[in-house]
């Protein structure tokens, strides 16, 4: 095995260790108090430490939160304060923005959900993220075992290519699915179903 493959294996092992202990906070673990936007930025950056970020490329800023509100991707704060519901929205938006456009996110995450509907969607989201991690690790390890072997000079490139191709295909699937009609997730729609 060459030095580059060894480096890839070391980085994958470090990332796997990090991912195995990573989990998004559940609804009840989110602060149940009003927060200022800067506090939301700090918490979201901490909760989403899995996503690369630094001072030059922050994951979230106060300006981006204000833009999400202005573009109606999330509910507006109440007297410049953000509650648990807002924090859940920002966590979902920041995570989904890694592979989706805001217009696609708006289709699956309506900004006008009440606390109970937000809690249900957020719990589903957290369950899917936390549940997918081990399957993802297993998939990456299997591909690394196939590619990062003695004599495979293209192993590192093939591993990157495999990841990129899967990313493109999942992105295409997401776009196709979000272009289909989406169910109304608001409590009002559940309480007053229209007859058709």
Q: What is the pLDDT of residues 74-89, one digit of tens each?
A: 999 999 999 999 999 9
Mean pLDDT across 5-9: 93
> Cα torsion for 44, 46, 50, 56, to the nearest 10°?
80
Rounded mean pLDDT of the chain? 90
pLDDT of 194 reads 47
What is the per-residue pLDDT for 193?
46
Report pLDDT digits (tens) over 94-146.
999 999 999 999 988 988 899 999 999 999 999 999 989 989 999 999 999 99
């Amino acid at each position: 095995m060459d030095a580059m493959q060894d480096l890839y294996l070391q980085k994958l092992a470090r990332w796997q260790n990090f991912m195995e202990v990573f989990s998004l906070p559940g609804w009840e673990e989110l602060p149940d108090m009003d927060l200022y936007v800067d506090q939301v930025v700090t918490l979201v950056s901490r909760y989403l430490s899995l996503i690369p970020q630094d001072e030059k490329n922050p994951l979230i800023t106060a300006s981006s939160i204000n833009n999400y509100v202005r573009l109606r991707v999330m509910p507006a704060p109440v007297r410049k304060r953000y509650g648990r519901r807002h924090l859940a929205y920002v966590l979902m938006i920041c995570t989904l923005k890694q592979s989706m456009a805001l217009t696609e996110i708006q289709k699956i995450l309506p900004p006008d959900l009440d606390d109970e509907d937000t809690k249900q969607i957020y719990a589903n989201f957290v369950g899917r993220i936390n549940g997918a991690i081990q399957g993802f690790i297993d998939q990456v390890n299997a591909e690394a075992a196939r590619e990062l072997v003695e004599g495979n000079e293209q192993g590192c490139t093939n591993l990157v290519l495999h990841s990129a191709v899967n990313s493109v295909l999942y992105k295409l699937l997401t776009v196709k699915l979000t272009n289909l009609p989406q169910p109304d997730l608001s409590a009002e729609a559940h309480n007053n179903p229209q007859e058709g």
